Structure 1
Amino acid sequence: MSFPVLQDYLARLSGAAGSTSSIWLDHEGRAQGRFFNCTLSSAFHPIRELRGGGVQAYEGLARSAAAQDQGLSLWRLLDHAASDDESIELDRLCRLLHAMNFFRQAGDDGQDLYLNVHDRLLSAVSSNHGHAFRRILDALELPLARVVLQLPAASPQQGWLLNYVADNYRRNGFRLAINAAAPSEALQILERLRPAVFKLDGRACADTDALLTLCARCREAGVALLFKRIETPATLAGLRELSATAGLNLLGQGYLLDQPRTQLADLAPLKAVAA
């Protein structure tokens, strides 16, 4: 059985709904948590290779618990109602739920789990967030090497905070994915933050020269490029053309390819991507 310590912990949570526990399992075995009297669980959005279409990773997303497979996204509603400390608590709860719900399904296939780090954590520079989350993963004997933390885009004024938080997580062994608003921004922070992945909006890919430069630099540095919000065939076609021209196997994610689901996707290559 994969991850036996996690399986044992999940077994002890079974049937805890309605108790004083803030985390429990529902009747389908999904870990759920409570925040502001809302019940939250996880959905997973596949991240695919654009050359071949296979699933390389999943992004964990917070959803309301529902009988349906998807649930509703309550993150913005809950976050806007929360103080800074409460928002950080929500962030930590969601990351724990996603790790539990992912690894109870993932087994040893090797796909990574991408977890978002809330932008309010950038201002909480006095806390060793990387160490706290690593202790949880270590206690459950979950593979740190398969967890990628997604850091938010930062304004120039927040640059030093982003550096601080990135260094904190890196020193604790985490790989990082950095959201960038444009290829030029990614190029500026490539050496400074040394991410494993850059994440860009697939809808904003008009500057082909800058993208090709970024592809070349990322290939040299061993950094992956992930394009999110792939929602139209035209966006997908443009990214596949960029991948072929740059000679780099780009990663893609979007509603054209997959919908977030509580269950992990079939690992077979997606024909729409591989075509």
Structure 2
Amino acid sequence: MIAPTVPELVSKAAEHPFLGAHIVMGDGEHAGMALAQYRDVALASAYEPIFDVGTHSFPQTLTASPESAERFGDELGVEALTLLADGEPNALFAQVEDDRELVDLDRLSRALHAFNFFGTQRPGLLFLRVHERLLKSVKYDHGLHFSSVLIDFGLNPSRIVIELPAAAVAHKTFLGYLTKSYQHYGFKVAGNLPNAGQIMSVSEMARLDFIKMDAGAALRDSVVKHLVGYANRLRIPLIFSHVNDEAQFDALQQFDVRFVQGPVFDAHPSHAR
């Protein structure tokens, strides 16, 4: 089934009791894309690709130029980044003190990214981060609200990966509950490891769909080989994130790393996180 276009999604959003007050069509450089009006700023979507470099049987190099990043394998998907429409880094999440307001902002951002992802017929998976405070503010049925919104707009939750922060992954019981809840409502779930040793316990309370680890930290602590081997035994895809330069990328390839993402693959990297 082909997803609705961005204009169709924005038009339908006008009837939604919450999204209708915030989601609009962009113009100028944002023509054809949805924007979210919040407080006195406009929020836009950006997407950082996650590459499957294992789809190429020969070593990859970034020497040619980052603009040729598509040479480095297929895209597993993209991770959504929230930026201000004028291109400046988005600091709204850090500025919001009220938990209820943070929940609204998080839900608005996820809907915005889903509209721009599905509405432009992007392939692969959409990785969406969830703010740690939102996980604590919503007491139960994590994923219920977002799943109902997606289905109402004709969008498929199974193509979305909810990305849990390291603080949630560090608590096995909480991680198990969150993972099962999001998966129950149709989502896939990724967990960011707070440290390499945490991979030993991720399967005890939760069957994650993806594991993520900061590339710089893994290389610094000389644990890449260990992480790749253990993830292979768990049969959970391991993504090395925040690959910042060619040296890190080359070092990762020595250990048969398959999934990578980071600024080094982006010809126009965003500062938004």
Scaled by the length of structure 2, the TM-score of the pair is 0.80
Alpha carbons of 1:8 and 1:62: their partners in 2 closer, same or farther (altered >3 Å)? same
Residue 103 (1) aligns with residue 123 (2)? no
Structure 1 counterpart of 2:45: 42
Structure 1 counterpart of 2:63: none
- Give, in angstroms, the shift of residue 155 of structure 1: 6.6
Amino acid at match of 1:151: L
Amino acid at match of 2:218: C
Distance in 1 (CA, whole Å) between partners of 2:242 and 2:192 is 13
- Indicate the RMSD between aligned Cα atoms, in angstroms: 2.5
Distance in 1 (CA, whole Å) between partners of 2:49 and 2:213 is 16
Structure 1 counterpart of 2:83: 63
Q: Describe the SS at the equivalent of 2:179.
A: helix
Structure 1 counterpart of 2:35: 32
Q: Determine what percentage of the aligned residue pairs are the same residue.
A: 28
Q: Describe the SS at the equivalent of 1:123.
A: helix
Structure 2 counterpart of 1:230: 243
Residues 250-274 of structure 1: per-residue CA shift (max 9 Å, x gap): 211111111457xxxxxxxxxxxxx
Distance in 2 (CA, whole Å) between partners of 1:118 and 1:57 is 20
- Give, in angstroms, the shift of residue 5 of structure 1: 7.4
- Give, in angstroms, the shift of residue 88 of structure 1: 1.4
Distance in 1 (CA, whole Å) between partners of 2:52 and 2:130 is 23
Residue 72 (1) aligns with residue 75 (2)? no
CA contact (8 A) 2:141 2:181 kept: yes
Distance in 2 (CA, whole Å) between partners of 1:178 and 1:155 is 8
Residues 176-220 of structure 1: per-residue CA shift (max 9 Å, x gap): 110002221122223322111111110012444x43343233223
Distance in 1 (CA, whole Å) between partners of 2:237 and 2:168 is 22
Structure 2 counterpart of 1:221: 234
Structure 1 counterpart of 2:3: 3
Q: Describe the SS at the equivalent of 2:143.
A: helix
Alpha carbons of 1:155 and 1:178: their partners in 2 closer, same or farther (altered >3 Å)? closer
1:242-261 equivalent positions in 2, closer than 5 A? 242-243=255-256, 250-258=258-266, 259-260=268-269
Amino acid at match of 1:36: R
Distance in 2 (CA, whole Å) between partners of 1:84 and 1:29 is 32
Distance in 2 (CA, whole Å) between partners of 1:228 and 1:131 is 28
Distance in 2 (CA, whole Å) between partners of 1:11 and 1:122 is 30
Distance in 1 (CA, whole Å) between partners of 2:226 and 2:264 is 27
Amino acid at match of 2:152: A
Amino acid at match of 1:40: L
Distance in 2 (CA, whole Å) between partners of 1:224 and 1:92 is 27
Structure 1 counterpart of 2:102: 87
Amino acid at match of 1:9: L
Amino acid at match of 1:172: Y
CA contact (8 A) 1:125 1:164 kept: no
CA contact (8 A) 1:79 1:87 kept: no
Alpha carbons of 1:125 and 1:164: their partners in 2 closer, same or farther (altered >3 Å)? farther
Residues 123-142 of structure 1: per-residue CA shift (max 9 Å, x gap): 12524231111111111111
CA contact (8 A) 1:149 1:176 kept: yes
Alpha carbons of 1:29 and 1:235: their partners in 2 closer, same or farther (altered >3 Å)? same
Distance in 1 (CA, whole Å) between partners of 2:115 and 2:163 is 18
Alpha carbons of 1:158 and 1:171: their partners in 2 closer, same or farther (altered >3 Å)? same
- Give, in angstroms, the shift of residue 6 of structure 1: 6.2
Please identify runs of 4+ aligned residues in structure 1 that moved more than 6 A. none
CA contact (8 A) 1:44 1:260 kept: no
**Count of residue pairs brought into register by the alignment:** 243
- Give, in angstroms, the shift of residue 99 of structure 1: 0.2
CA contact (8 A) 2:82 2:109 kept: yes
CA contact (8 A) 2:215 2:248 kept: yes
Q: Which residue among 153, 161, 164 is the counterpart of 1:140?
A: 153
- Give, in angstroms, the shift of residue 90 of structure 1: 0.9
Amino acid at match of 1:10: V
CA contact (8 A) 1:56 1:112 kept: yes
CA contact (8 A) 1:13 1:23 kept: yes
Distance in 1 (CA, whole Å) between partners of 2:130 and 2:184 is 16
Amino acid at match of 1:72: E
